[in-house]
Structure 1
Amino acid sequence: MSTAVRRFGAAHEVVEVEAAGMPRPGTGEVVVRMDLSAVNPSDLVTIAGAYRTRTPLPFRPGYEGVGTVVAVGPGVEDLRPGSRVLPIGTPGSWATHKVAEARWCFPVSDDIAREQAATMYVNPCTAWLMLHDRAAIRPGMRVIVSAAASEIGVMLVRMLNRAGLAPVVTVRRPDSAARLAGLAIERVLVGTPADFAPDLADVVRQGGADLVLDAVGGEVGLALSTVVRPGGQFIHYGLLSGVPLPPETWQRAPGIHFEMFWLRNWIHRQPRAEIEALLRRVEALIRSGTVASQIDSVFPLDEIGAALARVGSARRRGKVLLQP
């Protein structure tokens, strides 16, 4: 069984489930039987057509999941049937089996639960790289995290707390702040920029922010950019609002370092050893609970319509997973 997207649009309308036989690996490839796959906002944005210039139709969706190697093609030496792996680098994880290049399959330690293994790539790797590779957080920084009640938002707050930092955060609704209970937070900004404008004015009066991590874009991202101090940093890594950052975001703040961060760009520029080292760091953070994902629900692959509906539900709390 597999899934396919033949036209761009809302995921619950355009993702198709189709029968598929057991694939055969080519040279340098393996076949991975997917154990669990994750549904991420980046999947939905891609399916909607945000990156259509680099996403030819039709394509097989799903960028994250964990599985077991069941067949090995010619030229593959480091993997064998039975190896537990993350097949990253290409889509196609929303399927019973995925054909992947062996060089893009990374081992997963046996003690990592499969739900955490299925969600250890996109969010944890993005969070760690933004804080430690792109921003180099340090004591005393003031950091703002938008969409802090999202899975990656919570991870970022936990990681900042580990570094001794209590960030300013934004959430859409008052009840969303419950996800941050027990974490060190400087202040919670609730609602729209109009709602939390006085809070942003206070941040400016207190010297501004050193770093903004924005997963929302649109008016929220624009508003947060206005409180970054000269020489500060604004990292934009998601588009939860579905609205791009307005051009004036960077045009009116020439003293700020703006960066668009995409995990796939970093991954495709690194040698394998660097990616392996990153994943070992993530495993350690999963064991400590710092980047452990909250799991909302697991749906059979042939009920993907219901799974995608759950992703869009206001009642969802955590990640939605697919089980082939």
Structure 2
Amino acid sequence: MYAQTVRYDQFGEPREVLKVEQRLIEPLKQDEILVKMSERPINPSDVIPIRGAYKHRINLPAIPGYEGVGTVIDTGPFAPRSLIGKRVLPLRGEGTWQEFVKTTAELAIAVPDSIPDDIACQLYINPITAWVICNETLQLSSQQVLLVNAANSAIGRLFIQLSALFGFRVIAIVRNARYTGELMQLGAWHVIDSSHVSIYESIMSVTNGQGAHASIDSIGGPDGLELAKSTRAGGIFLSLGLLSGVQVDWSTISKELGVLPQLFLLRHWNQRVSVSTWHETFEKVIDLVQSGKLLLAEPGAKFALHEVKEAVQFAESRHRTGKIILV
């Protein structure tokens, strides 16, 4: 059987290197399942590798996409046949930007009927990352202050919502004041528009000159360094993303500022946790989504898989609203 697949043979701009091809679906191995995909969101973490940011650990040709939802249509000889017809998240197997995805049965996450595909396809990268950082990495106590830049992003909004559950306070940093009301309603303690005021001066004013206990940087470069300067000595500076494409000055952060720099990679957490912990973590996040305590990004425009170049371009434009989805 052949199926539609997005792939790239070299690193570069998505519009130049992404190809849509027909790929032969090989027979399933003993514990594998085959999932017919329904929806896949476009996240920055999907696109950044295409441009070559992690070329040291990506073997070409590669298929993009880390998450999505679909229905199991076949299983290998040792995988439960009862999975056929069930909606799952086929994770940590093949890239999800293809018509069919293979993964191992034990890592597939079952999706409750109450969660529609638009939301289910987003249940992995951002929610699990945010939960693990809050619950395991930072472990901020009540009333401690966390700085989050790119706070209007999908994951930025999750940190704000989780602050209500864990009891810490979030200072949300944005570049457009029109998001202030929404972020405050989600639970932000303060919102700072960095296009009009100094981040450092504003945070020092809000924290009575103490600075934040921790900060999460999704941008890098000068923006990340400004965040680190606003974090008190001994606090944690957590690098989560690189939207600017520029690395932060790690030496300045650790040696001159006395802040503890850390890099969070979800794949490292994946490698160290047991399969049972993997499933238990998803159960907690799914419970929060079902109960309405954790709201994921509203779906925006949807593009067919063969329109992937246009979809990525639109996802990175200022005109988009909501999460852009490949169907």
TM range (shorter): over 0.9
1:245 equivalent in alignment to 2:242: no
- 1:304: which partner in 2? 308
Q: Deviations over 1:211-254 (max 9, x none)?
A: 11111111111111112223322211111121111132223233
Counterpart Cα distance in 2 of 1:91 and 1:200: 43
Deviation at 1:184, TM superposition (A): 3.3
1:162 to 161, 165, 174: 165
Describe how 1:192-271 pairs up with structure 2 within 5 A. 195-203=198-206, 205-247=208-250, 248-254=252-258, 256-271=259-274
Of stretches 65-74 and 284-293 in structure 1, the one that deviates more from structure 2 is 284-293
- 1:54: which partner in 2? 57
1:72 equivalent in alignment to 2:39: no
- 1:188: which partner in 2? 191
Q: Deviations over 1:267-304 (max 9, x none)?
A: 12111110101101111121233142221122111111
Aligned-residue CA RMSD in angstroms? 2.0
- 2:92: which partner in 1? 89
1:287 to 290, 307, 323: 290
TM-score by length of 1: 0.92
- 1:318: which partner in 2? 322
Amino acid at match of 2:106: R
* Structure 2: gaps spanning 5 or more residues: none
Amino acid at match of 2:209: Q
CA distance 1:202–1:36, change in 2 (3 Å): same
- 2:39: which partner in 1? 36
- 1:150: which partner in 2? 153
- 1:107: which partner in 2? 110
Deviation at 1:153, TM superposition (A): 0.5
- 1:25: which partner in 2? 28
Describe how 1:3-22 pairs up with structure 2 within 5 A. 3-22=6-25
Q: Deviations over 1:47-74 (max 9, x none)?
A: 1111101101111111100111111113
Assess if the C-alpha contact under 8 Å between 2:172 and 2:190 holds in 1.
Answer: yes
Assess if the C-alpha contact under 8 Å between 1:219 and 1:245 holds in 2.
Answer: yes
Deviation at 1:316, TM superposition (A): 1.5
Counterpart Cα distance in 1 of 2:186 and 2:119: 21
Query: Tell me, what secondary structure is at the counterpart of 2:188?
Result: coil
Counterpart Cα distance in 2 of 1:231 and 1:279: 31
Counterpart Cα distance in 2 of 1:35 and 1:184: 32
- 2:124: which partner in 1? 121
Amino acid at match of 2:62: F
Counterpart Cα distance in 2 of 1:104 and 1:233: 31
Assess if the C-alpha contact under 8 Å between 1:217 and 1:243 holds in 2.
Answer: yes
Q: Deviations over 1:79-132 (max 9, x none)?
A: 632122111113410111012222332222222111111000000000111111
- Percent identity between matched residues is 30
Assess if the C-alpha contact under 8 Å between 1:79 and 1:102 holds in 2.
Answer: no
Query: Tell me, what secondary structure is at the counterpart of 2:38?
Result: strand
1:133 to 113, 133, 136: 136
TM-score by length of 2: 0.92
Counterpart Cα distance in 2 of 1:74 and 1:187: 54
Deviation at 1:178, TM superposition (A): 5.0
Q: Deviations over 1:135-173 (max 9, x none)?
A: 112211011111100011011111113334441111122
Counterpart Cα distance in 1 of 2:212 and 2:130: 18
